[in-house]
Homo-oligomer: A and B are copies of this chain.
Amino acid sequence: MPSLLELARLVNGELVGDGNIQIYGASGIDDAEAGEITFAVSNRILEATGRSKATAVLVQPDAPELDKAVIKVRNPRLAFAQILTLFAPKKDFKPGIHPSAQIGREFEGQDISVGPFVYIGDQVRIGKGSIIYPGAVIDDRVVIGENSIIHANVVIREDTVIGDRVQIHAGTVIGSDGFGYETIAGGKHFKVPQVGKVVIEDDVEIGSNVSVDRATTGVTLIKRGTKIDNLVQIAHNCQVGNDNILCGQAAIAGSTKTGDRVTLAGKAGLVGHIKIGDDSVVAACAMVISSLPPNSFVSGSPARPHAEDMRIQAAMNRLPDLLKEIKELQKRVAELEKRMPD
């Protein structure tokens, strides 16, 4: 077990208290047990640490004195994450291919772990250190890099390319047909074949029950470092930039591109064929219907610049009263008009 001093050094923080104390784990304020370290994201919630059983607390540099040992650090939440990484149980990697797995022709994969009931098609390549959990289906010609994790019952359709250190959570489907039809006589829909593919770059993480569609032609692209939450929809031919954060149930319609470091909050939606500039933030439930310049912050449905949306929302609260005030004004003006001398 690490000492408090060792943890202070790990997170590059300033120790106040006994550096010899052994720390056995890291937990949130309410969950922490004696012997564990916790964190306070802001000084405002420091009093909550009094109720906590935690032995030590990660705090901001200007935090007042506590009756626990503390480590002062610029970003207590990040420091907590770093320490939690130390304590997190390592998935024990069991190299080998389970005898029940079905592996296609011309398979390449050394030092990998493939669980029971996994299906792997023809000409698949998987890099070393990668884990394929039970029930996953990896179709023909899929390429997966090194140290990637494909969770249980994930389906990866043919020709998908996945980088290194990618994690895809259970139940997610990568490379399903894009949703493309041309309407013909009688209102029937003629299917546009979807012959493109999906490329997922290094260090991407994708949550559970997500759908990422293959391109009509060309590529649906998710760039390096992007993190995607559960139940998100990425349509055909989208290009998601580097280091995006796409929260639960967000959706991007076909051919839309996001820049780098874009955030879509929960349930946010982007219509098709638009571009979202770098470092933009789309608030929860917002529906973006046109392209946005870099550093945009929008909310509402349809989405407006956030400050403007806030003003409109505030004004809406006054709307019912406004109707009365206008009626009243109309009466007063009519009265004035009647009384006005010719």
List the interface of chain A (C-beta within 8 A of B): 26-28, 30-32, 75, 77-78, 80-82, 84-85, 87-89, 98, 100, 102, 115-117, 119, 133-135, 137, 139, 151-153, 155, 157, 167, 169-173, 176-177, 179-182, 184, 186-193, 195-196, 205, 207-211, 213, 215-219, 225, 227, 229-231, 233, 235, 237, 243, 245, 247-249, 251, 253, 260-261, 266-267, 269, 271, 279, 284-285, 287, 289, 301-302, 304, 308, 311-320, 322-323, 325-326, 329-330, 332-333, 336-337, 339-341
Query: Are A319 and B320 interface neighbours, CB within 8 A?
Result: no
- CB A167 to nearest CB in B, in angstroms, measures 8
Q: Give chain B residues whose Cβ lies under 8 Å from the Cβ of A133.
A: 137
Q: Please pick, from B218, B233, B311, B317, the residue contacting A231 in the complex, using a CB distance under 8 A.
A: B233
Query: Are A116 and B116 interface neighbours, CB within 8 A?
Result: no
CA distance A190 to B337 in the complex (A): 66
Query: Are A77 and B182 interface neighbours, CB within 8 A?
Result: yes
Most B-side CB within 10 Å, residue of A186, A251, A253: A251
- Contact A119-B137, Cβ < 8 Å, known A179-B230, A248-B253, A285-B287: no
Taken together, the copies of this chain in the complex come to: 3
Q: Give chain B residues whose Cβ lies under 8 Å from the Cβ of A271.
A: 266, 284
Q: Give chain B residues whose Cβ lies under 8 Å from the Cβ of A245.
A: 181, 189
Q: Give chain B residues whose Cβ lies under 8 Å from the Cβ of A269.
A: 249, 266-267, 284-285
